[in-house]
Structure 1
Amino acid sequence: MVSVIQKKNRKFKEIDYYKNEVSNYFLLPFRFQKINFQKEILVNEVGDFLIVPIGTAEKIILKKISKIDDEELYFDLISNFFISEDPIPILLNVLEARYRTKKSFLEHFTALHIFVISLRCEHTCHYCQVSRVTENKDQFDMSLYNIDEGIKIMMQSPNPYITMEFQGGEALLAFNNIEYAVKRAKEEAILHQKNITFVICTNLAPLSDDMLPFIKEHNIMISSSLDGPAFIHNQNRHRPQRNSYELTIQGLEKCREALGEDNISALLTTTNLSLDYPGEIVDEYVQQGFRNIFLRPISPYGFATYNEKKNKYQTEKFLNFYKTAFDRIIDYNKKGYYIREDYATVILKKILTPFPVGYVDLQSPAGMINNVIVFNYDGKIYASDEARMLAEMNDFTFQLGVLGQSSYNDIFYGEKAMDIAENWTNESLAGCSECAFQAYCGADPVLNYATQGNMYGYRPTNVFCQKNMEIIRYLFNLMEDESIEKIFRSWITGHSE
């Protein structure tokens, strides 16, 4: 066998080859992700992004970007802290300040305090997440003692702005307790120099005219539910009289007249039935005069887990529903009717502004404990509303204490809180730490535990990850259209163009 040795060409190349072969810059931390067949996105540590042709990230990493030949891109990379001409960027203190701003939601600690004022409910929704009881069982109302103890804990929060939210069951079935709690909390808020906001979560069916003066006097916000047109809402949110939709619409009209447009909102829950009617659901919200809609999937807790035929679906099916409904929302905006999708708006605020958002599910460290705490009707304290729902399935993994028995430090800094804290920052979770969308997403130890058996989770099969990655990618893809980006910016400012 004859060995053939190929000689290398020793001929010198032109000087430009050597000048541009490797650029003299330093890489700063960034991540990248393909968003369509032509483009990829680069994202730095504070969420600044550049949408560039596929292959650009590789060229940057191999230092193939030239100040001369790629001048515009080169200086975009410099100004947005993707690369630096110095080992330590001259404006590193600016980057530090911006990172602190992104995480400033941690400065004041817990704001939202949920009081489960009653488990009683006159609805029998098949997707109920809280294992409600019938409306005649008043032993499932929160006692005045537990209300007082919950208020004591709430007033110890270092946050000067706190929210007291009443949930159920159906909260209005225990309206006397709400009246007591509001008056008591306002007295304590004065003593502790707190600014306090009140919210009642209700299906509106038990709303009576004599409740409205108190609600108005104390500027209480109403959060209700609307699953779409009557044929969807009445089937999803069942009452013996099959009139849930009619009572909801009547309640919305009463609240708007008495409290004003800004003090009433509605929330959608997406069931298998809903998946077939994305356009009709958006149309219903527009017909009822809403300027926002929250397209959210069912959470895998409580009674919702017992009826898989109605409540369980693949993430891909929900995403198809979401995109179809979203297209309808964009179309309404293009035609001059301002309506935003709330989940996208939260993500867009993280993408397009330097400020943090208060939405619990998209925070890192997670919003549980840091932003929200739940006091159950029976005095048990949970790390989040979802943690309370899990407890209704007899799993108390996320119970932090008991009112009247546990101190503030036991609840917020105890061993259970520390265990949860090991799994609530996406910067340190495998699959999240290298994800380009990390800055816009969050961590959810409760959902990980409920769906995958542990708080850490496994990203390749994680429904939270699958949903958020595709929605974020979808939003970036849409933003390439300047007219849609303009609509998005109107959503985050709250003003139609």
Structure 2
Amino acid sequence: MTKPFSLLIKPASADCNLRCSYCFYLDHSALYPEEKIHRMSDEILEEMISRYMATDQPQYIFGWQGGEPTLMGVEFFKKVVHYQQKYAKPGAIISNGLQTNGTLITEELAEFLHKYNFLVGISLDGPEHIHNKYRLNQGMKGTHAKVWEGIRLLQKYKVEFNILTLVSSSNVHHAKEVYHYLKDHGFYYQQYIPCVEMDEQGNPLPFTITGEEWGKFMCEIFDEWIQSDPYRISIRLFDSILSLMFYGRMSVCHMAGNCRQYFVVEYNGDVYPCDFFVEKERRLGNITRNSWEEMQDHPLYHSFGHLKHQWNDACIHCPYLFYCSGDCLKHRIYNGQPSETMSWLCEGWKKFYSHTIPGFYKLAKAIQLQQSIKGPLFVDQKQERNQPCFCGSGKKYKQCHG
């Protein structure tokens, strides 16, 4: 019996039509050197979908990423929907998300995405002079204008989409400019991701931001948002914090107490535990040879998941552990460091939470009154010390967040 999980699928592996300077996944093509071009076959696609649809899930969640997944073309995604419909149980709820650089969107693809309710994420780092610093095509030219062509097609066909902004050295000192640029263009669903990439010696690459910069950036975003936009603009991190306050559930994985929420499926069916850890030594199996149950029970999957709550002693006594759970492992165990290493962004997270939690709490109380949500906010509740910890670590509360 499998536990609920979602799929993050790389149908074109690390292949991409762009050459963004800060891309962490482009080098993953070296994992499969036997082929220059990586494309998921019909056989792998059908096997993956049929096996996933055979499990019991409250919702069947497919995330299509890359590399650049639109390299597969619209015919591939037509097959995706065909197999989903073919193998769906009566009443099954299916969700498709597509994360794309936006430069290969066509009229036909946009029309298809609308017809089948795909939620699209578009990578856009801000105005042209910011976006074009690192988001380059293979000719090393900026892609801002081309991305906007794709956005206009999505708007024309009324495709639901959000904006994913990578916060790098190009925009980290321009939080207000980026926020108002997105807001002024009507982009009311936003996500901000910190850019943290190291060289082989563990030194930050030029586009990497510091924890202090991350904290300041997100504080400025919050200050602009809380003034007039909390009921109009959705920012994924902010939504997750409010969800945690209301229901004790977070919607972004770096806030969870374990790293076992989803599987990454590569173009050839190989399965890994996390998008940031697609590494030969962490391969869990292959969907043509191993069941989902086998991979969920794999010792590597369990040991990887448990790394998340193997915190530094300083984390255990931190007032914000409830919200960050030590942060994403990507920011802790880079270059072979132990999981007890403090997050590269730790100081930024502390700066952000100390600045924003009072405002989030006040907003949560207002929403609670408006929507007649009963019961105290989760942050008010005193959990019994011998109960399982809210973070999902599997430990008792007294041995974890207590």
Which residue is 1:333 aligned to? 229
Which residue is 1:417 aligned to? 301
Which residue is 2:325 aligned to? 442
> Which ranges in structure 2 are unaligned for 5 or more consecutive residues?
30-34, 374-402
Deviations 1:276-303 (A, max 9, x none): 2111111110121012332321143799
Deviation at 1:306, TM superposition (A): 9.4
Deviation at 1:228, TM superposition (A): 0.2
1:357 to 250, 269, 294: 250
Which residue is 2:382 aligned to? none
Which residue is 1:212 aligned to? 110
d(CA) in 1 for partners of 2:244, 2:221: 22
Which amino acid is 2:42 matched to?
L
Which residue is 1:406 aligned to? 290
Which residue is 2:265 aligned to? 375
Query: CA 1:291 to 1:435, structure 2 compared with 1: closer, same or farther past 3 Å?
Result: same
Deviation at 1:385, TM superposition (A): 1.2
2:7 to 98, 103, 113: 113
Deviation at 1:182, TM superposition (A): 2.4
Which residue is 2:239 aligned to? 345
Query: CA 1:488 to 1:249, structure 2 compared with 1: closer, same or farther past 3 Å?
Result: farther
Are positions 1:322 and 2:215 aligned together? Answer: no
2:52 to 154, 169, 175: 154
Which residue is 2:391 aligned to? none
Which residue is 1:474 aligned to? 355
Deviation at 1:406, TM superposition (A): 2.1
d(CA) in 2 for partners of 1:451, 1:473: 30
Deviations 1:156-191 (A, max 9, x none): 443231111111111111023222222112211237
Which residue is 2:153 aligned to? 254
What aligned pairs does 1:171-186 form with structure 2 within 5 A after superposition? Answer: 171-175=69-73, 176-186=75-85
SS state at 2:4 partner: coil
Which residue is 2:132 aligned to? 234
Deviations 1:220-251 (A, max 9, x none): 11111110001111222112373521122222
Which residue is 1:291 aligned to? 188
Which residue is 2:171 aligned to? 274
Which amino acid is 1:190 matched to?
K
C-alpha contact (below 8 Å) 2:195/2:209 kept by paired residues: no
Deviation at 1:450, TM superposition (A): 1.8
C-alpha contact (below 8 Å) 1:333/1:487 kept by paired residues: no
- Number of equivalent positions: 361
d(CA) in 2 for partners of 1:442, 1:357: 11
> Which ranges in structure 1 are unaligned for 5 or more consecutive residues?
1-106
d(CA) in 1 for partners of 2:222, 2:335: 27
Query: CA 1:489 to 1:203, structure 2 compared with 1: closer, same or farther past 3 Å?
Result: farther
Query: CA 1:484 to 1:112, structure 2 compared with 1: closer, same or farther past 3 Å?
Result: closer
Which amino acid is 1:256 matched to?
Q
Are positions 1:312 and 2:208 aligned together? Answer: yes
C-alpha contact (below 8 Å) 1:294/1:341 kept by paired residues: yes
d(CA) in 1 for partners of 2:363, 2:294: 51
Deviations 1:333-361 (A, max 9, x none): 39xx832432122123212x034133211
Which amino acid is 1:188 matched to?
Y
d(CA) in 1 for partners of 2:271, 2:277: 9
Structure possessing the higher radius of gyration over alpha carbons: 1
Are positions 1:128 and 2:13 aligned together? Answer: no
1:194 to 77, 88, 92: 92
Deviations 1:99-149 (A, max 9, x none): xxxxxxxx983332111011321111001121167xxx8731122232223
Deviation at 1:211, TM superposition (A): 1.6
SS state at 1:323 partner: helix
C-alpha contact (below 8 Å) 2:271/2:285 kept by paired residues: yes
Which amino acid is 1:435 matched to?
C
Deviation at 1:479, TM superposition (A): 5.1
Are positions 1:224 and 2:119 aligned together? Answer: no
Which amino acid is 2:149 matched to?
Q
Deviation at 1:446, TM superposition (A): 4.7
d(CA) in 2 for partners of 1:398, 1:301: 20
Are positions 1:141 and 2:39 aligned together? Answer: yes
Q: CA RMSD in A?
A: 3.2
Deviation at 1:382, TM superposition (A): 0.8
Deviations 1:253-275 (A, max 9, x none): 22122134xx1111000111112
d(CA) in 2 for partners of 1:407, 1:302: 36
d(CA) in 1 for partners of 2:66, 2:345: 25
Which amino acid is 1:146 matched to?
I
Identity between Structure 1 and Structure 2 (%) = 17
Query: CA 1:411 to 1:156, structure 2 compared with 1: closer, same or farther past 3 Å?
Result: farther
Are positions 1:167 and 2:48 aligned together? Answer: no
Which residue is 2:276 aligned to? 386
Which amino acid is 1:259 matched to?
K
Which amino acid is 1:128 matched to?
C
Deviations 1:350-399 (A, max 9, x none): 12x034133211112x2x33x211101132211111122xx2xxxx3432
SS state at 2:194 partner: coil
Which residue is 2:377 aligned to? none
Query: CA 1:431 to 1:154, structure 2 compared with 1: closer, same or farther past 3 Å?
Result: farther
Which residue is 1:15 aligned to? none
Query: CA 1:215 to 1:466, structure 2 compared with 1: closer, same or farther past 3 Å?
Result: same
Deviation at 1:328, TM superposition (A): 2.5
